[in-house]
Amino acid sequence: MKFTIFQDSRIGSRKTNQDRTAYSFSRDALLMVIADGMGGHLHGEIAAQIAVQFIVQAFQREAAPALSDPVFFLSRALGNAHNAIIDYAYDKRLAEAPRTTVVACVVQDGFANWAHAGDSRLYVLRRGHVAERTSDHSRVQLMLEQGLIDAEGAATHPGRNRIYSCLGGNHAPQIEFSRRFALRDGDTVALCTDGAWGPLGDDALAEGLTGVDVIKAVPVLLDRAEDVAGHSCDNLSMIAMRWHNPSTETPSETVSTRTMAVDAFTTQLDTFERTRSPANEFELTDDEIERAIAEINAAIHKFSQ
């Protein structure tokens, strides 16, 4: 495989960052995953952390160096991540399980498969246009599909953040799976939370990721989203991957997995400690962070057999 990849996550105007991003790749497979936690103090980010960390660890167990069935992997990994969040809530005796959106993508053999629940999005961009895009699991999206509202009204609708599918919560998620999508040289796959795509919109996002190295493009796009959102800026995160043919001349930062060992992985995963503002009223002590990490790992372990 040959690709260029970059991820970034920012706190915006919030007290904490409940977004989580990660990518991991073996010699023959690449996983990208992003989650946007929802819930009260601490619990939303724990749900997102459990989801992303669980899916990455499942990938590292099963991609040896390729997955036997990417769709089955996504189904099982997202379903068990949901179960781990529910189990965490049960052990903590929470009145309601924390929730998180999720979108995960596997690239293998030149094809992409993805799955999502909620309103975090995946885009496939080709020659400056949106070739594929996930459909939000939100009330506003349903209204759009039923012709009850137009795109302009959807952008400002008071219920635009209300979603009907997620990991965690009190109901089983409605996970939506893509068809098998053949990637071409120069295609860009972008995953992002609503804090990024909301202020930008599809056209600006596609334009910003066209003709520019993704390592440079992602920070510029997130800067623009923060400026547009202003004081109401949500957490905002993005992963962008540009696919290259083996013979394509590429930047020095491009990844080539051809010489990787069969059992090797390269992983970039947000840690719990790095997602918090250095000083705010919700700052956790070192002991509280260590306890939260231990609880996350315990919830993941039960469903990782």
- Provide the pLDDT for residue 289: 83
- Rounded CA Rg of the chain: 18
Quick one: tokens of 172? Answer: 């089983």
**pTM, whole model, 2 decimals?**
0.93
CATH 3.40.1280.10 correct for 2-302: no
Angle between helices 70-92 and 286-302 (to 10 degrees): 130
In terms of Cβ atoms closer than 10 Å to its own Cβ (0-12, 13-18, 19+), residue 272 is middle
Per residue in 16-46, pLDDT (tens digit) is 899 999 999 999 999 999 999 997 656 899 9
Strand, coil or helix: what is 121?
Answer: strand
Give the residue among 70, 102, 73 at the shortest CA–CA distance from 175: 102
| 97-106: pLDDT as tens digits | 899 999 999 9
For 155-256, where are the E strands, in sequence order? 167-168, 176-177, 181-182, 188-192, 236-243, 255-256
- Interatomic CA distance for residues 305 and 303, integer angstroms: 6
pLDDT tens for the chain, residues 1 to 305: 999 999 999 999 998 899 999 999 999 999 999 999 997 656 899 999 999 999 999 999 999 999 999 999 999 999 999 999 999 999 999 888 899 999 999 999 999 999 999 999 999 999 999 999 999 997 776 676 666 666 665 666 555 667 889 999 988 999 999 999 999 999 999 999 999 999 999 999 999 999 999 999 999 999 999 999 999 999 999 999 999 998 888 888 999 999 999 999 999 998 776 555 555 545 677 788 888 889 999 999 988 86
